[in-house]
Structure 1
């Protein structure tokens, strides 16, 4: 398989270079990729990407708002885990193999201690909790595609954080589909079912401050 690298470095950034980079990724997405080729390529480039049925899916780069929300969420969970040592946290970029030929990169992942054998250096199996922070350009990918796939992979709990709507939705697995456990808006405290006792203030999580 021929892998075409994108002609882009931070030192040569320009609108033209950005266009060339996106074109290169578009061409790469038309290739048929093996799992190993995907893993090698995703390690080589500082860009979030997934694999779906042999096709490379290049994700939008996270925004400042996205990263601030993710940082707060990570800090809140890790602080809670200091008193409740029930598992381990990882966050993107880290490929999760849902099933053969299907890799996704949740923004946030958590494995219970009894399932930490699913965690690997290069890739991991399905977590016990997955979190996605929605961006307007990628909303259907998180609310429809990943919503369906994470349930099929047996992930017990899925959080969808929507900064634009100022809403946090928590879903729990019911068979092979998700059911809404709670929808939390401004002024509410979002609560986890899996992490019994963990909750966070929606307004604090989605604050515009750094």
Structure 2
């Protein structure tokens, strides 16, 4: 009897057409994707990411990343922008047992033990998603659930089309609590980054 192939011997996915979107995938499968298209795995299900972000999307990302980066200078927390894999493990951190792998636009990680050469394993302290046309449902429903379950402390949702900023904050019971919808002319502060201030008029400035 031919032995079952080891993980190194398993076939790779060279094109997106080889992927069965009805199947269940783990991070071990994700590592075998060799095509250029970016995918995320949420609870074992594959989701196509939007095409290359627009210029406006990239500008908003830079306008948020910059102030966070500056505020973290000399502090233990780190900030990363996509593409950056965040593996949200549940029972085991083994690659074959991790069924959620996402690439948020920006993450802040304050626990250095969660960082490795492949990205972040565990919940970041802050996750920022900048909505793009066509992916709003995924961000607002699917990712809300996995971020809450994983224990992400703050989940920021930024809409480039509406120029709005919305934030969920994890309470002591492990549930997200919504905050006020903010827009241009208002500011954002967070207890996770002391001294940090995000001026939304500057965020949406083109």
Q: What TM-score range do you get, normalising by the shorter chain?
A: 0.7 to 0.9
Q: 1:133 aligns with which of 118, 130, 133?
A: 130
Report if the CA contact (8 A) 1:93-1:105 is conserved.
yes
**TM-superposed deviation, 1:2:** 4.7
**TM-superposed deviation, 1:194:** 1.7
Instruction: Map 1:76-95 to 2 at 5 A.
Output: 76-82=67-73, 85-95=75-85
Partner in structure 1 of residue 3 of structure 2: none
Report if the CA contact (8 A) 1:4-1:28 is conserved.
no
**TM-superposed deviation, 1:149:** 1.3
Listed as ranges, the gaps of 5+ residues in structure 2 are: 1-9, 90-97
Partner in structure 2 of residue 16 of structure 1: none
Q: 1:75 aligns with which of 55, 66, 74?
A: 66
Q: 2:113 aligns with which of 94, 114, 117?
A: 117
Partner in structure 1 of residue 7 of structure 2: none
TM-score, with length taken from structure 2: 0.81
Residue 103 of structure 2 is aligned to residue 105 of structure 1: yes
Instruction: Map 1:150-169 to 2 at 5 A.
Output: 150-169=147-166
**TM-superposed deviation, 1:3:** 4.2
**TM-superposed deviation, 1:155:** 0.6
Partner in structure 2 of residue 202 of structure 1: 200
TM-score, with length taken from structure 1: 0.79
Q: Deviations over 1:87-141 (max 9, x none)?
A: 11111112211123111111111111xx111011113121111100011211111
Query: Relative CO higher for 1 or 2, CA cutoff 8 Å, sep ≥ 6?
Result: 2
**TM-superposed deviation, 1:145:** 1.3
Task: Measure, in 2, the Cα distance between the counterparts of 1:117 and 1:68.
Answer: 31
Task: Measure, in 2, the Cα distance between the counterparts of 1:179 and 1:30.
Answer: 33
Instruction: Map 1:140-155 to 2 at 5 A.
Output: 140-155=137-152
Task: Measure, in 2, the Cα distance between the counterparts of 1:45 and 1:72.
Answer: 30
Q: Deviations over 1:23-42 (max 9, x none)?
A: x27x443444342220232x
Task: Measure, in 2, the Cα distance between the counterparts of 1:162 and 1:188.
Answer: 15
Q: 2:45 aligns with which of 50, 55, 64?
A: 55
